[in-house]
Amino acid sequence: MKIAVVGCGAVGSYYGAMLNRAGQDVHFLLRSDYDTVRRQGVSIRSPLGDFNTCPRAARTSEEIGVCDLVLIALKTTANGEFAKLLPPLVGPQTAVLTLQNGLGNEETLAKLFLPSQILGGLCFVCLNRIAPGVVQHHDHGLIMLGEFQRRPEPRTLDLAEMFNRAGVVCKVSDNLARAHWEKLVWNIPFNGLGVASAAGHAALLNPSQPLSPRPEPCLTTERLLDDGKWEALVRELMSEVLNTATALGHALEPALAGKMIARTRTMGAYKASTILDFERGQPLELESLFLEPLRQAREAGVVTPRLVVLCKVLVQLDRSRAQGG
């Protein structure tokens, strides 16, 4: 398949490199890493084995042209670029697969392309981009694949098989919306509290608590689960997300929270992607990961006091970052 990867950070580079190594015709749409990837390819460092592979590098979508599959791994803060970046890559038969976090990404794509062309993939993986063209894979790697607003099609199974042949465990969900809420059970507490911990524990218990003028260090997954007071917040947020999913008609497994916590303990001192964005002074993915889930919880009549305060703290921290303070 001819495949374009749009958003070549940790997620896009890792999955694109795995597919390229497996023999697919993979094209990376690049900006800052263009020269490095063109000269040296992409290097993956992993406990499963290091490797280097050389996908085609392009600076513009027009250089790549129409593809069979477009993998979107942009930060959701860049979704406003869809209309500029994607049309040259998408023809009538192109499958458009977003691997982005949170809610609303498929809906945004459906304003540009036919809904029948759009899929979503939930990535359960621990990755960091540690240098231009270099990705450190820490743990996991599963993709949960689903069709937007419909059940799996034959092409869904074909794409899952392509990922599996490339060494990426890929499963197919019969309900993409439910799968999104399953991942939010992890993303909201660990991405959210990882950043909000900079405001201190007290700020997450008391909505009127002012933020500290000197942010504390962000907590890794290990630290969040190694301290009883933080783990309690993790579990409370997970419970609120599960309650919201249930109210929206997505019956999730009651034991899901415990299973996710157990899997998270194997990650060690992992920094979720939102923490890295915050530490680099980059915009946070607030809308898709936190604010839209909160809106849906309110519309469903679910009381989510921990999520309300978490969103308040994250918005304040993001505003402070934007103001340079």
Structure tokens that stand for 220 in this block: 């890794």
Strands (E), 99-254: 118-131, 134-147, 170-172
CA-to-CA distance for 108 and 106, rounded, in angstroms? 5
Catalytic-labelled residue, pool 75, 84, 111, 183: 183
Look up residue 76 and give its amino acid.
T
Burial class (CB in 10 A: 0-12, 13-18, 19+), 214: exposed
Q: How many CA atoms lie within 13 A of 152 on its CB side?
A: 16
Q: Do 98 and 75 contact (CB within 8 A), yes or no?
A: no
Cα-based distances in Å from 112 to 78, 80, 203:
15, 12, 40
Q: Indicate if 84 belongs to the active site.
A: no
105-121 burial, b at 16+ Cβ within 10 Å, e below that, comes to: bbebbbeebeeebbbbb
Q: Of all residues in the chain, what percent are helix, strand and coil, respectively (each to 5)?
A: 50, 20, 30
Cβ atoms within 10 Å, residue 262:
11
The answer for residues whose C-beta is within 8 angstroms of residue 324's C-beta and 6 or more apart is none
Strands (E), the chain: 2-6, 25-29, 42-45, 51-53, 56-58, 67-72, 90-98, 118-131, 134-147, 170-172
Structure tokens that stand for 238 in this block: 């997970």
Residues serving a catalytic function are 183
